[in-house]
Structure formats: structure tokens, C-alpha cells
Chain A
């Protein structure tokens, strides 16, 4: 099963996604962390997330680029967080995919999905604050928007989390939890 969890910053989407993984009951759980620890603020953010999931039995795999090379065989459920970081890394890191970002990321998702039973992807809504950004940032929005659409198209469940409340745009949360 493929699940897309999206939402704004600070919306509680991570917590929702982590709890959903617990309810899918397909162990072992793997957390693919995509945030590159650039600075103190990133470290704090990463520490906060580690703390949030410490009781939830996740192994952690750090993957900043090249999802297609990741070996996740043996895991029942994979939680990838967050697509917005992975896309930025692929676009801007030296060994990233650059302009091939969209294709490379989607191939990476296929690659992970083939190895596990459930894949839950956390993404981010960065599309509606009405601020005109520079061309490069708009390219980032375009790539992530395209990737989000592609994931949602393939997903069994798509949820947008609003202040910890899941709004289901595709599929049924109850069915997902009960049919697994």
C-alpha cells in the first residue's frame, strides 16, 4: 500500500504518519530520514523527530539523495520523511539529480515500494502563501508539486493534515487500517 501524508509546516503531519504506520502493523518499521543536517536548527529539528518516534520501534536510514540506491529489503513498512527535503537535496546537492529530479525521485519511490509492503510518504504543502518567489524557488515548488501529484495518483490513501486533523482526499482511512 502507498500512502501520501501532506500538510503545512507545524500541522502535525509527522505525528499522524508515525501513528498510521503503527496501525498498519507490518513490522519491522523503517524511517527514511531525508533532512540534511546543515546547521544547528536542522539538528534540533532532527532531534525533535527522533524523540517523537523513539517509542515507536523505527530503525532509521539517512538518505539525502539517491533513493534508488537504498536497500530497505526485509522491512514491512517504510516511512519516508520528508519529500520536500529529498527534492531540495536532489536539486541542490552536488551529487543530486538536478533537472532530472522529478523522474529520479519517482523511480526511487518505485524502488522502495517494490521492497516493502507499505510505504508512507510525508510531503509538504508549500504552494499557497501568495508570495512571489524567485525563479529557482518556483522551480522547486513546481518539482515538488509534480511529485506530490504523481504520488497521490498512485496512492491508496492521500491525507492532508490540518492542525493534527486528517482530511482524506483519496481512499478511506478506516479501510486502510482494517484491511491490512
Chain B
């Protein structure tokens, strides 16, 4: 598993596709893909939106299941939580949840990349 994170509009997905040699057609968009696609896709981007959708459906993300079914997936996510605490309760819960899940994933991932201005830095490598 590989995690690619960074702010929005930083070229994270392009960086990930180029770095890991992934065709765009092998990627899934967390914003609108079928929820099961996370178990087949080589790369899933907008992972934070995927978590948002899970929360709206009242479902939990299960890392163990993903590790078992798709251990080599590349997850691309916005790095949330760098603003003032949101007023809306769901927004607060969402950015907190995304953070906790990404911490778990980062611990399991063999690599974590952080992208700023299209440039990636490897911040974890096994």
C-alpha cells in the first residue's frame, strides 16, 4: 500500500500516476466510483471523498479488508485538517475521521509521499 497526500490542486494524482507508472484508466475516483472499486483499482484518488461518502452512508472504513483484498493499492488523498476547526459538526467529524484513517494507512503503507506544487517528497519508506 502506498499513500500520497498533500493539499488540493497540487498535482498529486498526476504525480502518483507518473511515479508509479499507472494508466489513468486503471484509476478510480473516490468521489463517484462504486464503493467496491477500492478493492480492484490500482490507484484511488479523492480518497478523502471516499471517506466522506462512507460517513454519509453510516459505514466504517475497514483497513484490514483493504489490505487483504488490494494490498498494493495507491491511495491519493487531500491532506485535511490545516484550517480552523469547522463550525459544522459533520465537517469536524469528517476531517477528524479522515486524519485518523490516514494515520492508520500511513503506519501500514510501505511508502508515503507528500506532494507540494506537483513535487513529491517521500516522507516514509520501508
A contact set with B: CB distance below 8 Å: 8-12, 41, 125-131, 133, 137, 140-141, 162-165, 167
Q: Is the CB–CB distance between B83 and A131 below 8 Å?
A: yes
Query: What are 5 A-B residue pairs whose CB atoms fall within 8 Å in the complex?
Result: A8-B99, A10-B80, A126-B84, A162-B114, A165-B106
Question: What residues on A are CB-neighbors of B99 within 8 Å?
Answer: 8-12, 163
Chain B residues with CB under 8 A of A10: 80-81, 95-100, 102-103
Note all chain B residues with C-beta closer than 8 A to A125.
Answer: 81-82
Min Cβ gap B18→A in Å is 21
Which residues of B does A touch, CB under 8 Å?
Answer: 3, 5, 7, 79-85, 89, 92, 95-100, 102-103, 105-107, 112, 114, 123-124
Cβ-neighbour of B106 out of A133, A137, A163 (below 8 A): A163
Contact A165-B124, Cβ < 8 Å, known A9-B95, A9-B96: yes
Closest residue of chain B to A45, judged by CB?
Answer: B96
Residue of B nearest to A166 (CB): B123
Q: How far is the CB of B87 from chain A (nearest CB, A)?
A: 10
Most buried by A among B5, B85, B99, B123: B99
Among B81, B97, B102, B105, which residue has the most Cβ atoms of chain A within 10 A? B81
Which of B5, B82, B85, B92 is in CB contact (< 8 Å) with A163?
Answer: B5
A12 engages B7 (CB within 8 Å):
no
Complex formed: what's the CA distance from A130 to B82 in Å?
9
Which A residues touch B3, using CB under 8 A? 163
